[in-house]
Structure 1
Amino acid sequence: MELFYDILKQLIRIPSVVGEEHPFFMFIKRELEEIGVTVEYYDGVLVAKGKEPNSGYISAHADRHGLICTGHNEFQYAAFIAKNKADLTGDSNSEQLLHNFTARFVDEKVQAYEPWSGNYLGLGSIKDAYLCQRRNNILFKIDGFDYLFPGTPIAFTDKLEINGDLISAQLDNVISIAVIIYMYTAGYQGTAFFTASEEAGRSWRFLMEWFKRFDIKTDELLVLDTSPYPTLEEIKNIDIVMRNRDSNAVFRSPLKNKIKKIAIKEKIKYNFKDNYLKAKMAKNGTISSLGTTELGRLIYATKGEIQGTTLQIPTIGYHTVHETTTKKSVESIITILKKIYIK
């Protein structure tokens, strides 16, 4: 797994604020082209193709949460500024967390970068974060960024921390990107998608556009991501997370049973997130969303012409630079992918 962690450490250092992913896309492009993978760049999606592009379709979103300068000394949470939030519906995990997590940002170090070249523009520190009810967004006070122009992305500075069998960083969703690149080094020859603006609810549109562009239909799209849980105890008892459905659509794909069979055979502990959420609602006597996913939106919008399933890494500390998972989870995902795609 040393190669995997080398890839992940590098990726974490490259900023990829939602809506401003271009420098990160260029880094992925170079890494893949160096190992002989063909890479095509379309609006909102980077597409990698091995020697047998129809042998698999794996997708992961490339954006991470961060801030955008929106005026003189004014900084807002990037996913929820007006230009990004047209597709947000109110029931995503990100939106539900919006009211609860302002305090966690204080004293975090952030770096500004030029959105096209990725050039480093300086380092700052968050001094305060508060929810502005009028704009329904988090506003930040940052020391040292009074020279930035509106539209400048600001990423959280981050590095991978390994503590025993736990790994921590802003893992969502750079860890899935690292898994895909690692899979190409291990012999994966199918297609992979790296999508933009998932945290703003827009990535499914870019993915749908690609499939329509080439008139391709599939019921075996596999979407990789992280999945939040409340306690470390819970994620230590779950290696992988799947879904039968989300709030938008039922996932109908032969991949789901393939993954389940491999998990049982390899003694990989799995959890279905929709069942988990339903059980939680029944226990608490509450009704809430089953969550929205990129895949669910895509299935719904294409009326099932694109179908698939999700494979997720359970984490705690969701949407922070201290998001944590277990090494066992990462190894389990890679084991499953190798069994499915590498003969």
Structure 2
Amino acid sequence: METSLINRVVEEVRSLPIRCALAAISGGVDSTTAAVLVRRAIGDRLRAVFIDTGFMRLGEPANVKELLSDILPIEVINAGDRFYREMLGLGDAEEKRIRFREVFYTVLSEIVRNYGCDWLVQGTIAPDWIETRGGIKTQHNVLEQIGIDAASKYGFKLLEPLRELYKDQVRELARQLGVPDAIINRQPFPGPGLSIRAVGELTLEKLDVVRRATKIIEERLEGMGLSQWFAAVWEYEVSPNGDLSRVISGLGRLSAYLFRVRATGVKGDSRAYGNVVLVSGELGNWDSVYELYRYLGTIREVTHVVYELISRGVGRYFVSIRAVSTEDFMTADVARLPRELLMDIAQEIMNNDDRVAAVGYDVTPKPPATIEYE
């Protein structure tokens, strides 16, 4: 399948009247594979850029450029100030994603004009447009599938050679194209980056907290065979809920609380923007932590269930550890990690940042949760 797809796409691209094509690289397998595939067809008429939005992980722009230096020359464009001006202060998940898309493509359209290009290469894959059209969450790299005419709005035509593929298929294609294993096996990172992992109101301080926690979690859980593992951060503001506490009373000496922030989930085939439940207390046994969502995740307004690992009396923010396994990213299972490992990670996060009041582990599969929170 991969070889025939490569040949078909190469022939299709060569038949197009392309003066110059711009590829926006994130460092993930989707955008890299799409760019390498198109470069095979048009050679140096492909220009690749990495846009530093200011929502990247520590050292990410330089790391991506180095990783791809042998197969794809990349120019790093620093646009962080523009994204900050437009997005700091936003609190609604969809508003963040939509605003990010507008700024992202405005920046890209300027680069396209500066380079004299007329096409944009994107690594859009099937789950991106399926979730966007289904109203679950807006993926920033979905345009034509929801009726946005890129040519008239932004001044370029779109090339999306992976748009009918799923993540596992893209990885197989990348291997055929000689994409480095470090890219193929690199865990996905959302286009809006840490802006949607700083859940709720977007601030520079919250971005800094999630960036630090992300580094610790990614390093500690690397090499464990997970599909995605990361940190999310929001204000540690909760209210007790007696009804939810009674629902889980058989699993230990537990109490349930509702966070003030809300998060995205999936109910049926539709998007749900609902409550995040915090469970704290003593479990009858550790394996019961993975049963919490069965009791609470079926409740209509609940989209995520998080078990509190450690807390202290000071600090402003809550850090949620998220770790899942999946084949196609349409569904995902929670990684069953040892309690001791999670406690060690939680303690390291607390020791590293005195702004963190508590750390927990998200125990909700997809569905009813989405992998990300926004």
Structure 1-normalised TM-score?
0.28
Larger Rg over CA atoms:
2
Structure 2-normalised TM-score?
0.26
Higher relative contact order (CA 8 A, sep 6+): 1
When you count helix as a share of all residues, which structure comes out higher? 2
